Structure 1
Amino acid sequence: MTFSWTPHRFVGGALALDVANSVILRFDPEKSVDRFAVPEQLDSFCEAATRLSAERDTFPVLTAPSSSKHLIDLREATDRYFRQLIETGQDENNLLADLLTASATALKNAPAKHSLEAATARSVLNLMAGPNRARLRICGHCGWLFIDRSKNRSRIWCDMAVCGNRQKAAKHYRRKQETTS
């Protein structure tokens, strides 16, 4: 199965979040899709991330790993840690340890500085220590992780053009149904 990597797929605001968001509908087992399950997708993700990622200046040319094991481990640790941090506001020691271990393993085993594994690990570390940590959010529609860069820090959708419109259309449809019944 091939996917197109559109700009919407890179709305996380950091490469680490875009990688974490590569699992579509993560919490719906019947509809969930892992976009990295097909190894060839890693090559196309790297090409697209080189053009579309918010950190494209930091990681100008990304290369796919020969094996996705360390990248998948890092992706899952990233999602668990930041999701827990956003939902509870607390650092879980075991989740932090898992994320740091996955980041260290990815950096240690990455074949090149600009490999997707190394770049993702660096992005994770930047998120953990940087000012964007306080701006992390979970999309109210699709559940993706993203950085809220709005002035008043009130953004609730990863992408207004996709998730925001879907939510607003659904709300409008429900209101219209209520008035007609």
Structure 2
Amino acid sequence: MAVLWNKHRFSGGVLVLDTTNTLVLRGHADRSFDRFEDRAEISRFAEAARTFRPAELGGRAPVFENSEAAAGRVIALREAADRLFRQAVLSGQLDTALLPAVLRAAASCLDGASEMVGGAERPYGDPATPLRFETALGVSALSLLSGNEWRKIRICPNCNWLFVDRSRNASRLWCDMAVCGNRHKARRHYERSKATEVSHG
């Protein structure tokens, strides 16, 4: 069944974290599953990214060449980025042992690309032309590392997704309040109700 690539699935805040979150329920071997197991979903994810990551992509349309080699590069960066940034959240520091894998994977995604990015007028290049998805992903990963933005990454306590907390007082708990926050509230309400039933039983 095709994935509905909606706003919730782009709760990471940046393209590279949205991509890490395509492996759902990480750390739960019995329940975890990969939304990119069907490689055609990478193309559909790339198309949706134009709608849900317009600022990061500068309005450009990311296009994925559906091949095993291209998919391998995307998956390699997805996994290396998740290991690095998840550990950074837990420790508050970047582990240099994990950094080379991200840099190699990002370089592989950028290999063969011929793009001019970072300009004052068009920081993401010409919005009228498509952008190779792997290039967009590589730039996203390197951009997250270029400043202190990685320090704002959090882990959602409900779904275990990574997301950037850009709230004013750095107090955001959930990747998506409308989904994970509400699920947590519903679970707490249920647990309180059950506890009340037991106490009066």
Please classify the TM superposition score into its range, dividing by the shorter chain length.
Answer: over 0.9
Change (3 A) 1:26 1:59: farther
Change in 2 beyond 3 A, CA 1:78/1:47:
same
Distance 1:64 1:78 in 2: 19
- Shift in alpha-carbon separation, 1:68–1:110, aligned structure 2, 3 A: farther
Whether the aligned pair in 1 keeps the contact of 2:46 and 2:63 (CA below 8 Å) is: yes
Counterpart position of 1:151: 168
Please give the TM-score of this superposition, normalised by the length of structure 1. Answer: 0.93
Aligned with 1:124 (options 135, 138, 141): 141
Q: Paired residue for 1:172?
A: 189
- Structure 1 gap ranges (5+): none
The alignment's C-alpha RMSD in Å is: 1.7
Question: In structure 2, what is the equivalent of residue 10 of structure 1?
Answer: 10
Q: Deviation at 1:98?
A: 0.8
Once residues 172 and 189 of structure 2 are traced to their aligned partners in structure 1, the CA distance between those partners, rounded to angstroms, is 20
| Percent of residue pairs identical | 42
Unaligned runs of 5+ in 2: 116-129
The corresponding residue for 2:39 is 39
Q: 1:59 to 1:74 in 2, by over 3 A?
A: farther
Q: Whole-Å Cα distance in 2 between the matches of residues 61 and 130 of structure 1? A: 25
Q: What is the CA–CA distance in structure 1 between the aligned matches of 2:101 and 2:56, rounded to whole Å?
A: 26
The yes-or-no answer on 1:108 pairing with 2:111 is yes
Larger Rg: 2
Is it true that 1:86 corresponds to 2:89 in the alignment? yes
Deviation, 1:101, is 0.8
After TM superposition, the structure 1 = structure 2 runs for residues 63-82 of structure 1, keeping only pairs within 5 Å, are: 63-65=63-65, 66=67, 67-82=70-85
SS in structure 2 of the partner of residue 168 of structure 1: helix
Residues of 2 paired with 1:76 and 1:142: CA distance?
17
CA distance in 1, matches of 2:168, 2:194: 35
Aligned length: 181
Name the aligned partner's letter for residue 140 of structure 1: P
The aligned amino acid for 1:142 is: C
Change (3 A) 1:54 1:81: farther
Over 3 Å counting, the alpha-carbon distance change for 1:57 and 1:103 in structure 2 is closer
Change in CA separation of 1:150 and 1:159 when aligned onto 2, cut-off 3 Å: same
Query: Deviation at 1:150?
Result: 1.0
Aligned-partner Cα distance in 1 for 2:179–2:79: 24
2:93, 2:147 → 1: CA distance? 16
What letter corresponds to residue 83 of structure 2 in structure 1? R
TM-score, scaled relative to structure 2: 0.84
Alpha-carbon separation, structure 2, partners of 1:57 and 1:156:
26
